[in-house]
């Protein structure tokens, strides 16, 4: 199998969405005020983190399916497949792996996610999405 022009267009669209969220989060992480204590800002940051994970895993899943790579066993494993196939660096995967537990908490244990955790997640994970996008663009030749 191979990555078609339609696949590339879908990946490009998803990367645009990821880039938009990443720019917003990178700007947010520069703020020195207690934005995480404001419910609107915190919920927006949670949503940006969550959808960024979804974009990354959707992109990876499309590549995995198009190139008939091994079937992943879960969210983290979707990106791990791309590490195994030398699309993404192992260190990048190690750095971002914690976001999958946070994503699950956003869905199943939302009431117990603390404002400071959201701030730390934005600070720690937002800078990891641009390298992901760069590796994907290079790999699929966008």
pLDDT, residue 70, reads 82
Q: In this predicted model, what pLDDT tens digit does every residue of 100-140 receive, in sequence order? A: 999 999 999 999 999 999 999 999 999 999 999 999 999 99
Fill in the DSSP letter of residue 128. G
Average pLDDT, the chain: 95
Q: In this predicted model, what pLDDT tens digit does every residue of 19-32 receive, in sequence order? A: 999 999 999 999 99
The pTM score is 0.93
Determine contact, residues 89/135, Cβ cutoff 8 Å.
yes
Domains of the chain as residue ranges with CATH: 5-140 (1.20.120.580)
Determine contact, residues 22/52, Cβ cutoff 8 Å.
yes
* pLDDT greater than 90 at residue 69: no
CA-atom Rg of the chain in angstroms: 15
Torsional sign, CA 39, 27, 95, 107: positive
Fill in the DSSP letter of residue 73. S
């Amino acid at each position: 199998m191979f990555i078609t022009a339609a696949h590339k267009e879908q990946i490009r669209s998803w990367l645009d969405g990821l880039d938009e969220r990443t720019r917003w989060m990178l700007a947010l992480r520069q703020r020195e005020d207690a934005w995480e204590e404001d419910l609107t800002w915190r919920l927006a940051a949670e949503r940006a983190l969550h959808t960024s994970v979804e974009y990354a895993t959707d992109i990876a899943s499309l590549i995995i399916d198009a190139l008939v790579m091994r079937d992943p066993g879960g969210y983290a494993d979707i990106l791990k497949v791309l590490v195994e196939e030398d699309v993404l660096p192992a260190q990048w995967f190690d750095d971002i792996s914690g976001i999958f537990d946070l994503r699950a908490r956003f869905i199943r244990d939302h009431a117990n996610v603390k404002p400071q955790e959201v701030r730390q997640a934005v600070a720690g994970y937002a800078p990891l999405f641009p390298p992901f996008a760069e590796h994907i663009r290079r790999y699929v030749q966008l």
